[in-house]
Amino acid sequence: MPAPTLRFQVDRSGIVRAARQAPSPNCDDRPPGTKISLLVVHNISLPPGRFDGDAIEQFFTNRLDPSAHPYFATIAGQRVSAHFLIRRDGRLIQFVPCERRAWHAGESRWRGRERCNDFSIGVELEGTDELPYEAAQYAMMVRLIRALRQRYPIADFAGHSDIAPGRKTDPGNAFDWARFRRLVAEGRS
């Protein structure tokens, strides 16, 4: 008998049970009374340009072996995370409950507000600034946003480059904002 399909919703603690859970210690409490109003789109590939393996998960859970690849030594010791990762094939992994503050934005500013980690949800797309993202990734992102908006007043979407200009470039020119916004507006993938 096939496994039951989990409902795609965000529970009170900010968990999406339909996502594979890989808890990251790189998070903390949001400031009291903070409303989650922003979704930040990022990209990541580890090593850069490679889209296989479990290095991203290891990185976000502080288990990345710095000797496994020369690039890994340059990021060893960083303590970062995101709420979600969407793999190239559309699989969804959750690292931090949405009710908690993931460490994804760093020094950042959006519409006059500093510290975007306080009021945002970070979604990493497995990818690079230059390579087009997959249809499955856009589809999963729209599905995720639909669920998130049932629980949180998310009004804005921004790239990491928008909230940290000059410091960050992701999700890059390869991310099709027009397509993304159209799909979100239509409520479909």
Residues carrying an active site annotation: 124
Place of tokens 């990493």: 124
With a CB cutoff of 8 Å and minimum separation 6, the contacts of 31 are 118
Decide if 187 contacts 146 (C-beta within 8 A): yes
The structure tokens listed for 30 are: 């949001």
**Rg of the chain on CA atoms, in Å:** 16
Indicate left, alpha or beta for 53 from its phi (over 0: left) and psi (-120 to 50: alpha).
left
27-29 vs 113-114, strand pairing mode: unpaired
